[in-house]
Amino acid sequence: MPVVFANVLQPLIDLTESIMVFIHDHVVASWGLSIIGLTIIVRVVLLPLTLRQFKSMQALQRLQPEIKALQAKYKDDKQRLNQEMMKFYQENKVNPLGSCLPLAAQLPVFISLFYMLRTDLKHDICPGIDKYAASVHKSVSNVTCSQFSQAHGGAARGDWSFGFIPDLTAKATGAVLVTLIVLYVGSQLASSLLMTVSADKSQRRMMIALPLIFVAFVINFPAGLLVYWITTNVWTIVQQYIVRKTVGPIRPPATGAAATATAGGDGGGGGSGPLSGLTRALRPGAGAGEGNGAAGKGDEEGDGTAEKAKREEAPPPPPRKKKKARSGRRR
């Protein structure tokens, strides 16, 4: 990353470094746990944006039928479509970029932590590393705490290791890298699928593919940065459960067969769906004066019942034996 970019973010780098040093010196004497503590603080601060993101996703999901109608109407005029979409979002007070706010707000912290682990924080994690880097004619960013410790015969020990990670400031290798990649991809997939539970198939496929694409980049990051990313993914998974309990789940609008079934169910026996008119037209007794059909049908049923009763009461006619016998022989 360019040095100019690091200079722009230097105030944020200093702030996040101060937070991590405070956590390490006054809460937990572990730089790995300090990274996890920084992650939790960042996510708590971003919680209002996360709630806004969830509500924005709910609103966009409810407005999907109208959005698709606009896209179909102006599919041949992209400029007019963009104008109508912006107008539509303004009228409905929906920010289409609201779902990206938490991620956009986390990126500066992520980049700051990247620079901290490469340079600034190494002075706190590995005191004296700057003198060692100068003695070997390298910059601090090109020297790891493990190399510094080996150069001093293991005398310069520190807590730059965390769990199965030997050095938070260095790139992971071997089994450590494989374990971190599995944890990263698994947590990222779980959090992405929970965030896009009501999205269409193309969006879900994209969210599934992104963690696999990012693997090519994260393998070159310091191991501490992967600890931050895995922690924020786990936080997102837990947060989704809490937010759903608070705000409610995102429910996609009823479409297709579900909407037709709902319409038919609301109409009762006659129904109010698209086939209900045809059904009424083909029903016996329908047509002009259908309002009187119930009465007419009742009279017909009444007459039919009376005739049936008379037939049952009248004695059957005497059988004619000749005719019966002749009829049987023909058969």
pLDDT in tens for each of the 331 residues of the chain? Answer: 455 556 778 888 889 889 999 999 899 888 999 999 999 999 898 888 877 777 777 777 787 788 888 888 888 888 888 888 888 888 887 776 666 677 777 888 888 888 888 888 888 888 888 888 888 888 888 888 888 888 776 544 457 888 899 889 888 999 999 999 999 999 988 887 776 665 556 666 777 787 888 888 888 899 999 999 999 999 988 888 776 777 655 555 454 444 444 444 444 444 444 333 433 443 444 444 444 444 444 444 445 555 544 455 555 555 555 544 454 444 4
pLDDT of residue 273: 40
pLDDT of residue 231: 94
pLDDT of residue 19: 92
| Sequence-separated contacts (24+) of 36-40 with Cβ below 8 Å | 36/227, 36/231, 38/109, 38/113, 38/228, 39/228, 39/231, 39/232, 39/235, 40/231, 40/235
pLDDT of residue 256: 46
Cα–Cα distances in angstroms (integers) from residue 94 to residues 59, 90, 104, 252, in the given order: 7, 6, 18, 17
pLDDT of residue 177: 93
Q: Which residues contact 321 (CB under 8 A, 6 or more apart)?
A: none
**110: exposed, middle or buried (C-beta count within 10 Å: 0-12, 13-18, 19+)?**
middle
Alpha helices in the chain (DSSP H): 3-8, 10-26, 31-45, 47-62, 64-73, 78-91, 101-115, 121-125, 129-135, 145-151, 174-195, 201-218, 223-247, 257-266, 276-282, 293-313, 321-330
pLDDT of residue 331: 42
Structure-token pair, residue 283: 């029903």
pLDDT of residue 6: 61
pLDDT of residue 319: 56
All structural domains of the chain with their residue ranges: 3-247
pTM: 0.65
pLDDT of residue 330: 47
